[in-house]
Chain A
């Protein structure tokens, strides 16, 4: 591994029938990321379940006993593999309709989504649903994997027709960074190896694409956003007067001497030092975790946000957002919920349901409440002002979770619009 290896997080969306588990198994197997004991364990299991003759690569990703017994994937699983160019984290999400929430969850940290299509079936309702969710959650890059090309005689015309239809649909959602790849995960064509069957296709194989897609600009590099996580006061002899504000730079960059504004108070001051365990820095940028000291003594606590004075975020006690409801208990409009947004925790009420989105047709409907897997545009009132950006500008300061105070469960994911 070189010392410039980057990390790429991606998810795969598609149903079991599209060969999703087989695709991941193939990716791991052909990039030599599967170990002998894993292979021998699944060979044993394949035989135990009636066997398929050849090793069933899908068994590699179906982790839990309950899943193996039922032959389904019930939750998000994370897989890791590496090539000399990059390290990869795969968020493996199930394709069943009732699991929209799992895809939203896995997509929330992803740089890229692989959307799987069965070449025989083309663009289906679920393809549209997966693409809509990827666009909603702001995944920057999309790969359309047209799988099972072996079942359509590796036909270029079939592939082209599917791509054209898909691109038209994706454009309506404002998605433009889309790559389409024909493949056969079963035979290993165009996953890691190019194979012999798709010679008419001149683009990248899936792994080549994953290794080379440019992700440097996925984080917002413009607007400095620094939610204070923890105030460091050592109160030791040596650091008697030290008062540092610890946090992670969510976007943008900062240099010693820069003027900052502290929100919500609006006070301004300057950064005195950027302190780290490995020594002070002259400048730092997202996604570094650092400690900042300031030139003035100001009352600052967790939940405050440092921003540069020339790029201010929104600050309000009312906001509009897209919500994905994650809980089995439906939304209760009469109740107060808790919002956790960056490092700030506030009480809120959902004051208005504007519309629910039918994720299959993208049509808007009025709705009296929200049930699990519903996605809706809502208006929210919060008890204390939130300091936020539009989600499309900043995934970190534009997102929040909603918590039910009675059960402490995370009941919704929100994105400011």
Chain B
């Protein structure tokens, strides 16, 4: 009997579907974190493959920093509507109004504060599991995290005290008040994501593809001009062909210079790039070698 050869994408896809179904079956009140970024769009397709022809057995949740690119928010809303799935949005502004987040400068990066609103949202809806699109290849601290990452009442990750994870038999049990972060695409790389976007012909925000944009150059980085980032005295605004490798907080997400206008061309660029995704685009992760580890310990994804 002939057996079709399975590619790495087939194997990764099946693993992710298996993980999502385990979450649906064993967790009482799960949610899928969905930002409109490319990784979470891949997660959405995997959820379709896992649960169709039924609806998803969980809502989509976005923690909005209100520093997002408008194209990403538009894509988030369009995809949720097209799929007919429930989307819950909670914004950092809400936490700021409640006084649970105090910020000195509203225009500074807001990623560090996302954890607060996330934890408040988890408490509001009583979620016991949140699925996120983080990947282990993104960052050193991620590389050591389990697929099912147990968090205490404060959402804290304790890297030295993680549950051993064997085979694909996942321990999903939590006590009331605790929760689990689940990363179904832990084993995917940036390249796998692009190959999957190409294979599945996924609709993603157009700022992932090359476009003309006003930028300024600051300390070697290309920075997009927006209502949050304006040129300082002496800085020159240029129009350059760029694309975003990640689409986070507008104040700290830098594009890369590129002319790649479709997924296939991005795959070709990705296979020759010499800089990691976060290294190229996230100014906030470079502050210290351990910044992500510290943020995760405080309840970050």
Interface residues of A (CB under 8 A from B): 1, 3-7, 35-38, 41, 44-45, 63-66, 68, 74-80, 82, 86-87, 89, 101-102, 104-105, 108-109, 216, 221, 229-230, 232-236, 238-239, 242, 244, 246-248, 253, 275-278, 285, 287-289, 302, 326, 340-343, 395-396, 399-401, 403, 408-410, 413
Do A242 and B53 have beta carbons less than 8 Å apart? yes
Per-residue contact bits, chain B 47-61, to A (CB 8 Å; 1 contact, 0 not):
011111111000000
Instruction: Please give 13 more A-B residue pairs, beta carbons under 8 A apart, in addition to A105-B164, A395-B167.
Output: A6-B5, A6-B6, A38-B279, A78-B186, A82-B189, A86-B8, A89-B187, A104-B164, A244-B53, A253-B3, A289-B21, A340-B170, A413-B166
Which residues does chain B contribute within 8 Å of A221, judged by CB atoms?
3
Measured between alpha carbons, how far is A248 from B279 in the docked complex, in Å?
36
Given known A37-B279, A409-B163, A413-B164, contact A4–B5 (CB-CB < 8 A): yes
> With A82-B189, A253-B3 in contact, do A232 and B49 touch (Cβ < 8 Å)?
no
B166 touches A302 (CB 8 A): no
8 Å CB contact of B167 from A82, A101, A234, A399: A399
Interface stretch among B97-105, B115-123, B171-179, B207-215? B171-179
Q: Which residues of B contact A76 (CB under 8 A)?
A: 144
Instruction: Point out the residues of chain A lying under 8 angstroms from B53, CB to CB.
Output: 232, 234, 236, 238-239, 242, 244, 275
Find out whether the CB atom of B1 lies under 8 angstroms from the CB atom of A6.
no
Closest to A48 in B: B289
Annotate B26-59 by CB proximity to A: 1 below 8 A, 0 otherwise: 0000000000000000000000111111110000
Among A6, A238, A277, residue most surrounded by chain B Cβ atoms (within 10 Å):
A277
Q: Which of B75-83, B133-141, B245-253 contacts A (4 or more CB under 8 A)?
A: B133-141
Given A399-B167, A399-B169; A1-B144 close (CB under 8 Å): no
Q: How far is the CB of B60 from chain A (nearest CB, A)?
A: 18
Tell me which residues across on chain B come within 8 A of A408, comparing CB atoms. Answer: 171, 173-175
Contact A45 B8 (CB under 8 A): no
Contact B276 A78 (CB under 8 A): no
For chain B residues 255-292, which have a beta carbon within 8 Å of chain A? 267, 271, 273-276, 279-280, 289-290
CB distance from B79 to the nearest CB of A (A): 16
Q: Is B218 an interface residue (CB 8 A)?
A: no
Q: Report the nearest B residue to A246, measured CB to CB.
A: B21
Structural contact, B8 and A37, CB atoms closer than 8 A: no
Contact of B163 among A63, A68, A410 (CB under 8 A): A410
Interface centre among B48, B144, B276 (most CB of A within 10 A): B144
- Which listed residue, B25, B48, B195, touches A277 by the CB 8 Å rule? B48
Interface pair A109/B140, CB less than 8 Å apart? no
Q: Which residues of chain A are near B238, meaning CB under 8 Å?
A: none
Best-buried of A7, A221, A395 by chain B (most CB within 10 Å): A7
Interface centre among B136, B143, B160, B186 (most CB of A within 10 A): B143
Question: Mind listing 17 A-B residue pairs with CB under 8 Å?
Answer: A7-B11, A45-B289, A65-B293, A66-B159, A77-B143, A82-B189, A221-B3, A238-B53, A239-B53, A247-B21, A275-B53, A285-B4, A287-B14, A289-B18, A340-B171, A408-B173, A408-B175
CA distance A396 to B167 in the complex (A): 7
> Number of B residues whose C-beta is below 8 Å from A?
66
A288: nearest chain-B partner, CB-CB: B14
Give chain B nearest CB distance to A152 CB in angstroms: 33
Tell whether, in the assembled complex, residue B8 and residue A5 are in contact, meaning their CB atoms are under 8 Å apart.
Answer: yes
B201 within 8 A of A: no
Check A401/B166 contact, CB under 8 A, given A36-B275, A289-B18: yes
The minimal Cβ–Cβ distance linking A40 to chain B, given in whole angstroms, is 9
CB distance from B185 to the nearest CB of A (A): 12
Smallest Cβ-Cβ distance to B186: which chain A residue = A78
CB A210 to nearest CB in B, in angstroms, measures 14
- Report if A87-B8 is in contact (Cβ < 8 Å); known contacts: A229-B22, A233-B54, A277-B52: yes
Chain B residues with CB under 8 A of A409: 163, 171
Q: Give every chain B residue within 8 A of A41 (Cβ-Cβ).
A: 289
With a CB–CB cut-off of 8 A, which chain B residues contact A278? 49
Interface residues of B (CB under 8 A from A): 1, 3-8, 10-15, 17-18, 21-22, 24-25, 48-55, 136-137, 140-141, 143-144, 159-160, 162-171, 173-175, 186-187, 189, 191-192, 195, 267, 271, 273-276, 279-280, 289-290, 293-294
Given the complex of chains A and B, what is the CA–CA distance between A239 and B51 in angstroms?
Answer: 13
Partner of B140, one of A63, A89, A247, A276: A63
Contacting pair B55 A410 (CB below 8 A): no
Are A248 and B17 within 8 A (Cβ)? yes
A343 to B259, CA, bound (A): 47
B223 to chain A, nearest CB (A): 17
Q: Report whether A230 and B275 are in contact in the complex, using a CB–CB cutoff of 8 Å.
A: no
Residue of B21, B24, B192 most packed against chain A (CB within 10 A): B21
Report whether A229 and B140 are in contact in the complex, using a CB–CB cutoff of 8 Å: no
The 8 Å CB contact of A75, one of B15, B25, B160, B290, is B160
Bound together, the chains give a CA A206 to CA B167 distance in angstroms of: 25
CA–CA, A236 and B13, complex, Å: 26
Contact among B8, B144, B163, B276 for A6, CB-based, below 8 A? B8
A74 to B143, CA, bound (A): 13
* B141:A66 contact, CB within 8 angstroms: no
B3 contacts which chain A residues (CB < 8 A)?
216, 221, 253, 285
Query: How near does chain B come to A34, taking the closest CB pair, in angstroms?
Result: 9
User: What residues of chain A lie closer than 8 Å to B22, measured between beta carbons?
Assistant: 229, 343
A234 contacts B55, CB within 8 Å? yes
Assembly CA distance A5 to B279 (angstroms): 27
Beyond A287-B14, A413-B166, is A64–B21 a contact (Cβ under 8 Å)?
Answer: no
Closest 5 CB pairs of A and B: A37-B279, A63-B140, A7-B8, A234-B54, A289-B17
B137 to chain A, nearest CB (A): 5
Q: Is A229 in contact with B21, judged by CB distance below 8 angstroms? A: yes
The answer to whether A63 touches B141, judged by C-beta atoms less than 8 angstroms apart, is: yes
- Point out the residues of chain A lying under 8 angstroms from B12, CB to CB: 7
Say how far B255's CB is from chain A's closest CB, in angstroms: 16
Q: For A41, A102, A104, A235, which residue has the most chain B Cβ atoms within 10 angstroms?
A: A41
- Docked Cα-Cα span, A108 to B169, in Å, equals 10
Closest chain B residue to A401 by CB distance? B169
CA distance A109 to B53 in the complex (A): 31
Known A248-B18, A343-B25: A3·B7 in contact at CB below 8 Å: yes
